[in-house]
Structure formats: structure tokens, C-alpha cells
Amino acid sequence: MKPTPADIIIAIGKVQAGDWIDPTDRRALFSCRLFDPTGRCVGDGDAYTAGEAMALAWIHVHAPDALWKGRVELGEVPYEGPEGWRFEVTPAP
């Protein structure tokens, strides 16, 4: 399971609009931890949908300052996740 290009595009739009979930402010419904091909946890995301949580974790890897800066540079985040990356989605606690 991985985010679709549409999930990533929507999440980038939410980052730029400041409309992402701050887990200290609002309760997310889904959490995602992203593991690289070596099995190391490299990113996470929290959102109202599983697809958006995965997309935010993907953004976290490629643009780690995006959420607090409120922007993602064009081409900074690929719209497709390569094989070997693992997205673990769980209902948020």
C-alpha cells in the first residue's frame, strides 16, 4: 500500500495552504510510519485519510521542513513512491 499521485498532490496543496493536521492541535484518524528499503523509519504523517497520512510521510522524507515552512518546491517531492518503501498505516491512537 502506498499513496497515489493524487494523494501526494492533495497533501502538497494542504501543506501550502497550511491545512495539514498538527497532531498537537487536532486529532488525526490515521497515522503512517514510512520505512526505507533498508527497514529504517524515515518519516511519518497524520491525517484524516490513510492516503493523506501516507502522502505526508512521503513529503516528510523529501521536504522535511515543508510543514513548518508551508511550502514544497516544484519537483522536490516525487509523485510516485518507488518499490521497496513500506508505508505502515494505523488508526491514530
List beta partners, residue 91. Answer: 30
What separation in angstroms does the CA of 64 have from each of 36, 91, 93?
A: 15, 23, 23
23-78: pLDDT as tens digits: 666 666 899 999 999 999 999 988 889 999 999 999 999 998 887 777 888 888 99
Higher pLDDT, 29 or 6: 6
Look up the domain containing 83 and give its range: 5-91
User: 3-state DSSP call for residue 37?
Assistant: coil
pLDDT of residue 62: 92
pLDDT of residue 78: 93
User: If pLDDT is split at 50, 70 and 90, which confidence band does 22 have?
Assistant: low
pLDDT of residue 25: 66
Number of domains in the chain: 1
